Amino acid sequence: MPRPTGAPGGSHPVLDWARLLRLPNHATAVADVLAGYLVVSGLKTVALPVGLPWVVGAGWAFYAAGMVLNDVFDVALDREERPERPLPSGRIDVRTAAFVGQGLLALGGACACVAAFVGGTPATALVGALLTAAVWIYDRHAKGTPLGPAVMGTCRGLNWLLGMTAAGGPIHEAHWLLPLGVASYVAGITIYARDEAATSRRVMLARGVTLMATGLALAGLSTVLAARAAGGIPWGDGPRPGVGVDRLTAWAGLWTLVSASVLLRALLGVFEPTPQRVRAAVGNSIMSLITLDAILVLAACGEPWAVVVLALLAPFLLLRRSIPPT
């Protein structure tokens, strides 16, 4: 059977765009915004508030823009290190990709403004403006500098804050630790992934793991403090029959267990810093954002919405079979 014209290895234009966009990872961006909204709103039943689709759409568009513009500005480097990617291989025109990336950035800002208007939350528009700037600064200027991981982490933290402001928050002081924790975690992944195309330096990998651990600790602490201030969590307070431990303690154990599994996978890359091991750890750390978001939602809203967030793992796992997440 003949291969599609101009598409080495049987590639297809749709698949090339999906690879450029890092399509599997979009589920993590949706999970972040959705979790930010839910943690503040505390919705107990699965419903669709009027502003939620707009703010989720904004978060998705910002993330998609960042993925496209990342490769647009990296095309010269990718011609040397990753010539198989859609832009350096010539399967997607660089100018077309730049136009699409800038259009997605504008779409994200527009959706954030609509979410701010329908929800009566002007802060959402402000966060959208900050995200627009942060995405552009990272892709165009900061990526290859020492500030790159911090700016990338800021993008993810603002994505969480985008959802939180659309729900009228942050409400508690402890809520501010959540976007800070997510920002630290993603900054750690960025440091960890910096040399993934070659043999990574152990010291950089160790720094990345340390920052990831710090972020996970901050997010967990935020949830515990907010739950104590609220007098419990909707997952169910009080002792569980035959267990003798309250649900907040059980939640903290679940958070610790999942966090430890993510960090252990990353530590394996420190001990064996090969491209295959490091890329696997990076992919796992990115995928785990969905699980971590679902656990945070579990503490704020209970099981129904946590299951909805966790269901975003399905498109991630399905799409990554043919589309690399990194």
Rounded mean pLDDT, 291-298: 96
* Contacts within 8 Å (CB) and 24+ apart, 116-120: 116/166, 118/50, 118/51, 118/54, 119/49, 119/50, 119/51, 119/55, 119/166, 119/167, 119/168
Flag whether pLDDT at 196 surpasses 70.
no
d(CA 254, CA 265): 17
Place of tokens 């431990």: 245
Q: What is the pLDDT of residue 201?
A: 83
Q: What is the pLDDT of residue 315?
A: 92
Rounded mean pLDDT, 208-230: 93
pLDDT tens-place string over residues 104-127: 999 999 999 999 999 999 999 999
Q: Which two tokens stand for residue 271?
A: 């001990």
Rounded mean pLDDT, 79-84: 85
Flag whether pLDDT at 240 surpasses 60.
no
Flag whether pLDDT at 200 surpasses 50.
yes
Classify 31 as helix, strand or coil: helix
| pLDDT top residue among 322 and 27 | 27
* Average predicted confidence (pLDDT) for the chain: 89
Q: What is the pLDDT of residue 176?
A: 95
Contact 118, 92 (CB under 8 A): no
Q: What is the pLDDT of residue 236?
A: 55
- What predicted TM-score, i.e. pTM, was given to this entire model? 0.90
Q: What is the pLDDT of residue 7?
A: 42
pLDDT tens-place string over residues 7-17: 444 568 888 99
Q: Hey, what CATH topology would domain 21-319 get?
A: Tetracycline Repressor; domain 2 (1.10.357)
Flag whether pLDDT at 293 surpasses 90.
yes
Flag whether pLDDT at 61 surpasses 90.
yes
d(CA 228, CA 248): 9
Contact 284, 268 (CB under 8 A): no
Flag whether pLDDT at 261 surpasses 70.
yes
Flag whether pLDDT at 278 surpasses 80.
yes
Flag whether pLDDT at 5 surpasses 70.
no
Q: Which of 148-152, 269-273, 300-304 has the highest mean pLDDT?
A: 148-152
Contact 56, 26 (CB under 8 A): no
Q: What is the pLDDT of residue 77?
A: 85
Rounded mean pLDDT, 177-191: 96
Task: Specify the length of the chain in residues.
Answer: 326
